[in-house]
């Protein structure tokens, strides 16, 4: 294959050949390519193409998705002590073809496509690739690259050999550009149903991005929270069944006889006075108020002799056996406690 051979688009996999098809101009000069020769090869109809400022595509055909992603990261990773365009951090001698994309990662819809989201557009249809960089980097949006800045870069994940923003952050960056509620709802719902992340992580990123003032985002978040709770309840049912816990009464309200309402519970074992409450709060601006309500309810129930076990959806998903052991321990310890106060158990 020569530099003049056009490449047809293909699915994104690991990046073996692409690193030799896209290079910064500074790296080409380091390989002995003069400025005059570079300009000649990049002229209209030439063997190469100037894909982005300082980034050259070493063939005349249209760039593949791999090449666009690689070029976007190379563009964003350019650096020099003087703040002028330079070259990305170079790999070690033992790995001469491994680029280091310093302080840059793919985010937004391109990141979701890399994660395999069915509701995200394919990479080939995206006009822009979002790249997340530190706030103080001197970069501008250009060509197929949209630069997004953040005060603190998250830890990237490696997907197809590329640094990609965590799913929750990529979702927030994608949602910031979307105006259709249905599109936002599909992305958020898929993130939870496919197990990419928990609803709380998504809402936290949307809150930090100040996106919860947009009505279509708020509507999508409400659907997301409901979806997350339904999935958590299903996991709780499975945990009780699969780990041999005695059957509780499900989804009940407790009330003192002739007295006040004590609160709702997801599962309750009346004989042992043990309750399970799913903590499916979505972190928003009123999170402290919600947590205070949780804490007050728990303290009130425990003063009445009722043991309350709080379980998060994340724990149910990743360590159901451990959560079942916590509940089992609470049930067994009931014999060593003083009898609980009599309460009415009502369907919720």
Chain Cα centroid distance, residue 53: 30
Could you give the C-alpha distances from 108 to 25, 70, 74, 114, 171, in angstroms and in order? 27, 16, 18, 10, 6
Q: Tell me what the mean pLDDT of segment 288-315 comes to.
A: 83
Distances (CA, A) of 187 to 11, 51, 146, 195: 21, 30, 20, 12
For residue 77, what pLDDT is reported?
A: 86
- Is residue 261 exposed (0-12), middle (13-18) or buried (19+ Cβ within 10 Å)? exposed
Per-residue pLDDT tens for 188-225?
999 988 889 888 889 999 999 999 999 999 999 988 88
Going from N- to C-terminal start, the domains of the chain cover 241-347
CA distances from 242 to 195, 245, 246, 326, 330 (A): 20, 8, 11, 15, 18
Please state whether beta strands 344-347 and 249-255 pair in parallel, antiparallel, or not at all (unpaired): antiparallel
Instruction: Give me 253's structure tokens.
Output: 């309200």
Given a cut of 90, whether residue 308 has pLDDT beyond it is yes
Q: What burial class does residue 244 get, using C-beta atoms within 10 Å of its C-beta: 0-12 exposed, 13-18 middle, 19+ buried?
A: exposed
pLDDT tens column, 133-150 = 999 888 899 999 999 999
**Which of the listed CATH numbers 3.40.50, 1.10.1740, 3.40.960, 3.40.462 matches domain 241-347?**
3.40.960
pTM, two decimals, is: 0.76
Main-chain phi, psi angles of 106, to 5 degrees: -70, 140
Model pLDDT, residue 17: 62
Mean pLDDT of 233-246: 96
CA 275 and chain centroid, separation = 32
Query: How does pLDDT run across 108-120, given as a tens digit for each residue?
Result: 999 999 999 999 9
Distance CA 150, CA 135 (A): 5
User: What is the model's pLDDT at position 165?
Assistant: 97
pLDDT in tens, 9-32: 344 444 446 667 888 888 888 888
Residue 290 has pLDDT above 80, yes or no: no
% of the chain residues with pLDDT over 90: 56
Report how far residue 171's alpha carbon sits from residue 167's, in angstroms, rounded to the nearest whole number. Answer: 6
Lowest mean pLDDT among 12-26, 149-163, 181-195, 300-314: 12-26
Determine the pLDDT at residue 144: 92
Question: Do 52 and 75 contact (CB within 8 A), yes or no?
Answer: yes
Q: What is the pLDDT of residue 223?
A: 87
Q: What is the mean pLDDT of residues 291-298?
A: 76
Closest CA to 159 of 334, 332, 12, 306: 12
Strand order in the sheet with 274-278: 307-311, 274-278, 261-269, 249-255, 344-347
Residue 268 has pLDDT above 60, yes or no: yes
Q: What are the residues facing 22 on neighbouring strands? A: 57
């Amino acid at each position: 294959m020569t530099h003049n051979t056009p490449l047809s688009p293909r699915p994104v996999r690991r990046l073996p050949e692409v690193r030799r098809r896209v290079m910064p101009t500074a790296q080409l000069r380091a390989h002995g390519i003069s400025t005059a020769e570079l300009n000649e090869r990049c002229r209209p109809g030439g063997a190469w193409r100037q894909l982005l400022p300082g980034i050259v595509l070493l063939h005349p055909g249209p760039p593949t998705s791999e090449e666009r992603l690689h070029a976007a990261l190379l563009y964003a990773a350019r650096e020099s002590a003087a703040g002028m365009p330079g070259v990305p951090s170079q790999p070690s001698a033992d790995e001469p073809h491994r680029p280091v994309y310093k302080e840059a990662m793919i985010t937004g819809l391109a990141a979701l496509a890399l994660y395999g989201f069915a509701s995200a557009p394919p990479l080939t249809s995206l006009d822009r690739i979002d790249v997340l960089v530190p706030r103080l980097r001197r970069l501008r949006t250009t060509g197929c690259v949209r630069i997004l800045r953040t005060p603190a870069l998250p830890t990237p994940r490696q997907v197809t050999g590329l640094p990609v923003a965590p799913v929750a952050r990529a979702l927030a960056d994608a949602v910031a550009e979307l105006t259709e509620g249905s599109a936002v709802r599909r992305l958020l719902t898929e993130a939870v149903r496919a197990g990419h992340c928990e609803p709380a992580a998504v809402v936290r990123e949307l809150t930090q991005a100040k996106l919860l003032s947009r009505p279509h985002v708020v509507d999508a978040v409400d659907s997301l929270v409901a979806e997350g709770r339904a999935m958590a309840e299903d996991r709780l049912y499975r945990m009780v069944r699969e780990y041999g816990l005695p059957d509780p009464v499900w989804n009940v309200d407790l009330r003192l006889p002739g007295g006040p309402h004590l609160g709702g519970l997801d599962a309750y074992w009346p004989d042992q006075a043990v309750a399970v409450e799913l903590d499916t709060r979505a972190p928003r601006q009123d999170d402290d108020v919600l947590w205070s309500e949780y804490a007050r309810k728990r303290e009130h129930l425990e003063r009445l002799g009722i043991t309350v076990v709080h379980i998060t959806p994340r724990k149910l998903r990743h360590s159901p056996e451990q959560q079942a052991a916590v509940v089992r321990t609470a049930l067994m310890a009931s014999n060593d406690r003083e009898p609980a106060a009599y309460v009415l158990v009502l369907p919720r």
